[in-house]
């Protein structure tokens, strides 16, 4: 089975712009979670989607949003980018309805905001 | 709120040594605990998953144990190799919340 894929792998944006990141889960996985990783804060949970519905959300401002499509692919959007949004954004997929199962991560998208 | 701590933050050992990485968590009502490995600039690779009802899991040279009552897990790496050099993270998920809480990781360097 192919693993979790994320596109693009690298992205450079300027402050005030918006960005959309994409994640394709492992085939058959229906839960997709997003995380932000920075040297200072470590791995922080953004949100989780299951069957096109946001099931859980972390403590991030409303500039961070996401969605999931009927094929389980997910996108994450960040509007009005700030320098502090520079991070590695990781997507993880999980097999089933129970979001507490093992998570499998993609390679990440490295976002740099200048 | 669940808090996960990993000690030490960094570890350097000579090749061939057996070593133990530690992970502690404050809320023992966990559903499972997962150990990951992360190479620089890369995503996370799942190593082992321990369900709350289990005490340990093994995969090759890796053995992870779980003591829920004391809020601790250890990852044992036998006969370490330079290729084991990476950051190791543990994450727990509680019964009540569908999200993982991550520790800050232990950066391991195995010297040839």
> Using one digit for the tens of pLDDT, what is the confidence trace for A11-54?
999 999 999 999 999 999 999 999 999 988 889 999 999 989 99
B103 band by pLDDT with thresholds 50, 70 and 90: very high
Rounded mean pLDDT of chain A? 93
How many angstroms from the chain centroid is the CA of residue A11?
A: 14
Q: List pLDDT tens digits, range B58-100.
A: 999 999 999 999 999 999 999 999 999 999 999 998 877 667 8
C-alpha–C-alpha distance, residues A45 and B11, integer Å: 26
Task: Tell me whether A45 touches chain B (CB under 8 Å).
Answer: yes
CA dist A112 and A13 (Å) reads 6
Residue A97, pLDDT above cutoff 70: no
pLDDT of residue A66: 97
Hey, what's the torsion of the CAs at B103, B45, B86, A6, to 10 degrees?
-100
CA distance B20 to A6: 32
Give the closest of B31, B36, B98 to A56, CB-based.
B98
CA distance A50 to A32: 7
Contact A33 B46 (CB under 8 A): no
Q: How many helices (H) and strands (E) does chain B have?
A: 0, 11
Q: Please report which confidence band the pLDDT of residue A95 belongs to, taking 50, 70 and 90 as the band edges.
A: confident
Q: What is the pLDDT of residue B21?
A: 97
- Chain A residues whose CB is inside 8 A of the B103 CB are 42
Residue A16 CB neighbour total at 10 angstroms? 10
DSSP one-letter code for B23: E
Longest distance between any two alpha carbons in chain B, whole Å = 44
* CA R_g for chain A: 13
Q: Using H for helix, E for strand and C for coil, what is the string for chain A? A: CCCCEEECCEEEECCCCCEEEEEECCCCCCEEEEEEEECCCEEEEEEEEECCEEEEECCCCCCEEEEECCCCCEEEEECCCCHHHCEEEEEEEECCCCCCCCCEECCCEEEEEC
At residue B98, the pLDDT reads: 65
Q: Which of residues 15-74 of B touch A (CB under 8 A)?
A: 31-32, 34, 36, 41-46, 49
Q: Give B16-51 pLDDT, tens digit per residue.
A: 999 999 999 999 888 899 999 999 888 999 999 998
Give the pLDDT of residue A99: 60
Taking CA atoms, A69 is separated from A54, B14, B98, in Å, by 11, 48, 20
């Amino acid at each position: 089975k192919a693993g979790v894929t994320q596109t693009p792998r690298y992205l450079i944006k300027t402050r005030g712009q918006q960005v959309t990141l994409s994640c394709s889960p492992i085939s058959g996985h229906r839960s997709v979670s997003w995380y932000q990783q920075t040297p200072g804060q470590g791995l922080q949970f953004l949100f989780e989607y299951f069957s096109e519905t946001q099931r859980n959300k972390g403590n991030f401002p409303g500039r961070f949003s996401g969605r999931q499509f009927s094929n389980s692919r997910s996108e994450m959007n960040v509007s009005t980018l700030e320098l502090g949004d520079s991070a590695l954004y990781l997507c993880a997929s999980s097999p089933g309805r129970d979001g507490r199962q093992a998570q499998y991560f993609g390679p990440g998208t490295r976002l740099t905001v200048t | 709120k669940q808090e996960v701590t990993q000690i030490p933050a960094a570890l350097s050992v000579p090749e061939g040594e057996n070593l133990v990485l530690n992970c502690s968590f404050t809320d023992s009502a966990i559903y499972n605990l997962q150990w990951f490995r992360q190479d620089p600039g890369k995503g996370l690779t799942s190593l082992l998953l321990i369900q709350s009802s289990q005490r340990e899991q093994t995969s090759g040279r890796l053995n992870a144990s779980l003591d829920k009552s004391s809020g601790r897990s250890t990852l044992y790496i036998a006969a370490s190799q330079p290729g084991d050099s990476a950051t190791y993270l543990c994450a727990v998920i509680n019964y009540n919340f569908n999200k993982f809480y991550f520790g800050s990781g232990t950066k391991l360097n195995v010297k040839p």
